[in-house]
């Protein structure tokens, strides 16, 4: 069971990007999925998270610009990022707090490999 993130890149200020993170393996369920980011010299911070039922919460800095969603059938979480700013530049990581596979094993606090988002003109 692992998480694979994709969709990062270089974009101009005001532009958009969509990140995806798919969990692979024989997954039965995933509780909360989220996106975090870490800029150089900074601590990793929460960007947005979504429960299996669709409840969401966002960092104040991205509220109104970013939208998190998930497809439970595909075990995938998305982050639509609009109106990007240079201060959004960071490595973005996806996270799953509790995953369960069909053998009954649990996986706690799993992280994807990170995808670079650079906002620059």
Asked whether 21 and 83 are in contact (CB, 8 A), the reply is no
pLDDT of residue 45: 98
Low-confidence ranges of the chain (pLDDT < 70): none
Tens of pLDDT, residues 93-106: 999 999 999 999 99
- Signed CA dihedral, 5, 58, 108, 39: sign only: positive
pLDDT of residue 91: 98
């Amino acid at each position: 069971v692992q998480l694979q993130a994709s969709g990062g890149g270089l974009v101009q200020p005001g532009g958009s990007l969509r990140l995806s993170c798919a969990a692979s393996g024989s997954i039965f369920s995933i509780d909360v999925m989220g996106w975090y980011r870490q800029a150089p010299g900074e601590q990793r911070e929460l960007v947005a998270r979504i429960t299996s039922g669709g409840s969401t919460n966002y960092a104040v800095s991205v509220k109104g610009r970013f939208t998190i969603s998930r497809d439970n059938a595909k075990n995938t979480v998305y982050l639509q990022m609009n109106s990007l700013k240079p201060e959004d530049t960071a490595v973005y990581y996806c996270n799953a707090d509790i995953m369960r596979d069909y053998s009954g094993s649990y996986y706690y606090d799993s992280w994807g490999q990170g995808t670079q988002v650079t906002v620059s003109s």
